[in-house]
Structure 1
């Protein structure tokens, strides 16, 4: 084995790229604990943002650059997986709607644009429930990644937004399928007139993400508190999933009380998982536990943005 020779000159200890704060210019460093990041109206101290992922998994998903969680992954046509996912849009979501409505709670739909076009009756029911719409790309398999050229990705974003507008469902924010972006995605969203995105899981409150085309608000994404991750991927028991949701809400409510700083809990749910008849009671128990916590309210995108603005005024 050859002996490694280390540099010894005076330049060796120089670190010209080292500086205070992050090693990028997307956003500045901030003190989440000491800074007032959110200010809810009234008696609310903890907002709970329920993201309901309403997706279409095409049978011919290529797996490029990766296979989305929940996608058909057996030899074509994987009818078992495809139809089970389709069950969520035909049956499961209505159980979730009923559970939320019965408790006076609301949610945001993270809606694949091709679902709105393929399931117009479902789109009408989502609008009837008063859920706001976060444009979740074209479909679950239309992944945004660095292998796309800029024109292709720009066209994907434009088509997704146009399909939702055509169904009378103007989106209030954007979510890239499987939380995947290319280095260009935020700037292309700004170019398309999108004001907020929910792809980054690095915070519990909104912040301004800078792009070459201008700023876009980054809303908290839910990687960990997601039924696809906990139940489908890790194969945890429903009781474990319930416990994770409830403990998270209780902890954030306690932090809000102790610090005087309002909090936001973000969870991501899929009707093909949580809308099953043997799981829906668990969802109902989670909602009841949320309702029992003082100062809790389910919120949507406009309220989150308003609470963030109020904290900075």
Structure 2
């Protein structure tokens, strides 16, 4: 019997979808990567990093959990922000269990209360179980963590509450167990058990470039940065034992001043971005890559419906 009173017959195979929600920079992507055991969602110290729903697939002998990582719910200031929020709400209607991430090193705020109210309504309407996850537990002492857990409990009637640290690896397996035991019974896995994500290579490459470009830049830049993979072509005349792929990527910003930030003095920063991203891309593709990066200005693209569509939003 689980904490919310549902039956959890350990002999029943379970498979389904889980969604991690929370305000921006609540640790959702880092927790996704920790649960899967590999880098399937980009992480950054800047808020609102995630733009796409990245599915991480966690296969165990008795279950398969497909994690859908979403942008953080936030008060939108642009058309892009509105579309990101719509994406989260659509996802919530389609999953079997929700993990509500509330970072332990931050006080419960209006953003958390707003999300909690939406989740409580969803529980009433669709009876989707919600597990409250106190992320970043390694950043606070035991007394502060206890206070945080009490505050989380007062936000709603959750199926379970669990503290964890994805970075330190604390209680990650407990989070996985709490989510997995609330999945529906299934006759077999939904995906092959050796697959970690169903995202196309182009999407993962674009995200890796975004992550590299976001590190060490001004706070406003993450909201103004979009990446499009224009071309992926196997290099001709390469031996089968040592293939290479030519990857052409455009990085879009909204203003010339932002373009200068990404490129850096004499192109130094863009070279760093390329080196970091290429290493990640080569891990994804499993062979050498020639990465051709270009930075372009698409003025006010976050507020332009036609440009949003062209950039994949």
TM-score by length of 1: 0.32
Indicate the structure whose relative CO is greater, using CA pairs within 8 Å and at least 6 residues apart.
1
TM-score by length of 2: 0.32
